[in-house]
Structure 1
Amino acid sequence: MNNIRHQHLIFDMDDTLIYCNKYFNLILDEFITLLSGWFKEYDLAMDDIRQKQIEIDVAGVHVVGFASEHFPASLVETYRHFSRLYGRPLDDSEERQLKLLGSSVYEKEVEPYPGMVNTLESLRLAGHTLYLYTGGETAIQQRKIDQMKLSSFFGERIFIRQHKNITALEEIITTQLLPRQDTWMIGNSLRSDVQPALQASLNTIYIKQELEWAYDIVQLQTGSEQSFHTVSHLTDVPDTIHQHLNIYDNEQKRTWG
């Protein structure tokens, strides 16, 4: 490990280091059950509720980014859509109930992915510099960071942004003076993590999760000069990086004789 070339590793947080989407899905299941009961006489299908919420949710994130009020608002807007569609009167108490339900997702206890501490510790011990780059509101994301004691790994190298895109990533690369050939983006979102990293010519590791948010799924635009890897588990990250570096260094030795 001591001979491994020093790298700069930028980690996403939600659904890369800690669980996130599963809590939103639990709230959505409760919301869909609630709405199907309210609209029982109209035979409103659960799948129709789910698809409309996804449509409203994804469209809104493009506009407001990862704002905390957006998810509760998407539940209310889905409710209003079907109320208008079927001519069912809107009810203020029902809307308040939906807002509270949506907001409750941010009160869930934080849970790390298996091997989070060991993965970060092994990379730090290997001599690499770690950075945290997460999307959302500062207060909510900082609470998660504090609960997981992530500053012990990332120090002051923590970046919270309302929008995660190529502009935000380039700002981090520029201000931190990161060498692109020795910098990695590690995350679960094709849209927010992988695509911007490929555009920025960073090495990229995509951690594919079973529960993917519809917003995260995009068709990648290829063409990056840097490496792109897909893994299934966070614990696969250190070996993926070090194997890549060994292959690269061996190729360079052959090239230069």
Structure 2
Amino acid sequence: MKHLILGSAALALTAGMALAESHGTMVRLGTEGAYPPYNFIDDSGEVAGFERVLGDELCKRAELTCEWVTNDWDSIIPNLVSGNYDAIIAGMSITDERDEVVDFSQNYTPPSPSSYAAASEDADIEAGVIAAQTGTIQAAHIAETGATLLEFPSPDETVSAVTSGEADAVLADKDFLIPFTEDGTLVFVGDDVPLGGGIGMAFRESDPELREKFDAAIQSMKDDGTLNAMIKEHLGEDSPAF
């Protein structure tokens, strides 16, 4: 999304850089870069998607200078805790289990449904083999059902497992699966599954001040309607909003 007023954007960026330089810090935002439409790598090799636009706007409102770092999903929390970046903004659902390790901001998307998708509508999602990304709320859900869980490091691999016949279906965020159903690769099967408490940013428990800055920025975007507009633009008109 282009800044509407280049001059004011430049001034905000300059102010943010001055603030960051005065404290000698650069805030590093960690994301996966492999989960469209939330985050992905574009043709120029840059982080793009809903969370890139959102993160840049939050940094602007918090008057922070930020840079983006990509990290594989299966180690994204450990690398936050070890200091490789300062916050996670990567389609991460807020759960009690994760909250024991990191501190979450308030959610920047409401709880949205997960869905099963398969190559055909008669796929067995009750007792079949279901693919999910490792370390996700979807994988945890499958493990509690009568189905067989088949985990993969990346979300694209879960879809490939279905198209190759290795898995009967995939369970993932519905927003992620919609493009595969629209192009005819997959079809939705069964009912949507409500999981998690919405998506939020994650921080080290030792960084409450940074979390509070982003919390305030998220709230300001909720208050002025900017966040809802951004959700509709990047996640779709039917995506839950505030």
Structure with the higher helix share, 1 or 2:
1
The bucket for the TM-score relative to the shorter chain is 0.3 to 0.5
Looking at CA atoms only, which structure, 1 or 2, has the larger radius of gyration?
Answer: 1
Structure with the higher strand share, 1 or 2:
2
TM-score when scaled to structure 2? 0.33
